[in-house]
Amino acid sequence: MNRTTEKLHDIGQSIWLDNITHRLLASGTLLSYIRELSVTGLTSNPTIFDHAIKNSNDYDDVIRRKLDEGKSGEVLFFELALEDLRQAADLFRPVYDQTDGVDGWVSLEVSPLLAHNTAGTLAAARALHNLAARPNLFIKIPGTSEGLPAIEEAIFAGIPVNVTLLFSSEQYGAAAEAYLCGIERRIAAGLNPDVGSVASLFVSRWDVAVAEKVPESLRNQLGIAIAREAYVRYRALLDSPRWQRILNEGARPQRLLWASTGTKDPNASDILYVEALALPSTVNTMPEATLKALAAHEELGQASPSNPGEILAEFAKAGIDTNAVAAQLLGDGVLSFAKSWRDLLDCIASKSQVLKAA
């Protein structure tokens, strides 16, 4: 076991991989990450599958088979993705069982085109959950205003949810409220309150957004400060009487997850966000390059100071309105995810035409 990655595990943070491809599974690479680098879960997104399908022949046989079955478009993609994710879920199943469902999860996203469609999101979440047929598979739902009621309803229906596209402490709080309401409704209905969830807060995009607007002394500090602010709120919520009541009823905490933790600034540490956010009871989902960089480091630096208020005050003095930036990041994120989805479907359509012609 790698000493540096194991240190995060000892701190109480889970390492998840932000990648899933057929080759990663078939080569045994994912299994080696589990055994050697303390990886205990993974997340997926349309861009990952788009690149894997476009830049290799790894999915050609699967696409041919789905085409022969009359599948196309979104239906073909979800079946293709679930073949990989079921295999990954089975690899993580021992972790899931050993931790009693705290860890060992994989994630699949509903169509990003549904980000502002509550009913459509909930219907898709139900369908994908049933199709996946794995207890350790999260359905990713965006934390938009329309996504929040879908999250509550999905949790009430017993569907594990990874809340995605969160950018601020306020957004995190709204996602936690949706989860909490869903669990409270299950308790009132006499249902098992043990429904897994994570709330995924995106970190590095903050620093990209303000890189040209702040002095050098503040570079690469905003994402960490925002995340630390959310962490303070997270721990306070878990200690609140309302949360303690549902935990006493058998519910589990909705863990805070750090997403977008790959370093974007080439002049910064390649594990900048890993070191700064090495915090108990959280998850860090890392791009493969960041995971490898972490494993190559012999030491892990200390996490950032626990009070982010002073740093956020410095950004305010520099003219950064974090509420406005958060809203912009969410809007851009929805558009970016939708574009990635369309690119993926275009890629599948193009690949299908090539395979049909062959």
Helical H runs in the chain?
Answer: 3-11, 22-26, 29-36, 46-54, 60-68, 73-98, 118-132, 147-156, 169-188, 204-210, 222-238, 241-248, 272-276, 288-296, 309-317, 322-357
pTM > 0.95: yes or no = yes
| Regions in the chain scoring below 70 on pLDDT | 304-306
Architecture of domain 3-357: Alpha-Beta Barrel (3.20)
pLDDT, tens digit, 9 for 90 and up, residues 27-83:
999 999 999 999 999 999 999 999 999 999 999 999 999 999 999 999 999 999 999
DSSP string, 282-327: EEEEE-HHHHHHHHH-S--PPPPPS--HHHHHHHHHTT--HHHHHH
> Dihedral of CA 338/344/348/349: which sign?
positive
192 CB burial (10 A radius; 0-12, 13-18, 19+): exposed
Give the single-character DSSP code of 18.
S
Asked whether 118 and 147 are in contact (CB, 8 A), the reply is yes
How far is 168 from 165, CA to CA, in rounded Å?
Answer: 10
The CA angle 48-21-51, to the nearest 5 degrees, is 35
Residues marked as catalytic = 140
DSSP of 187-205, one letter per residue? HHTT------EEEEEE-HH
Can you give the pLDDT at residue 1? 84
Enter the DSSP assignment of 216: G
pLDDT reported for residue 75: 96
Q: Which tokens sit at 240?
A: 């609140």
Q: How many CA atoms lie within 13 A of 233 on its CB side?
A: 21
Show the CA angle centred on residue 134, arms to residues 133 and 137, nearest 5°: 120
Render pLDDT for 134-172 as a digit per residue (tens, 0 to 9): 999 999 999 999 999 999 999 999 999 999 999 999 999
- Taking the domains of the chain in order of start, what are their residue ranges? 3-357
- Check residue 299 and give its pLDDT: 87
Q: Which residues pair with 42 in a beta bridge?
A: 17
pLDDT at 303: 73
Q: Which residue has the tokens 């626990």?
A: 306
- In this prediction, residue 293 carries a pLDDT of 97
DSSP string, 249-273: TT----EEEEE--S---TTS-TTHH
Give the model's pLDDT for residue 103.
Answer: 98
Structure tokens at 121: 């999101």
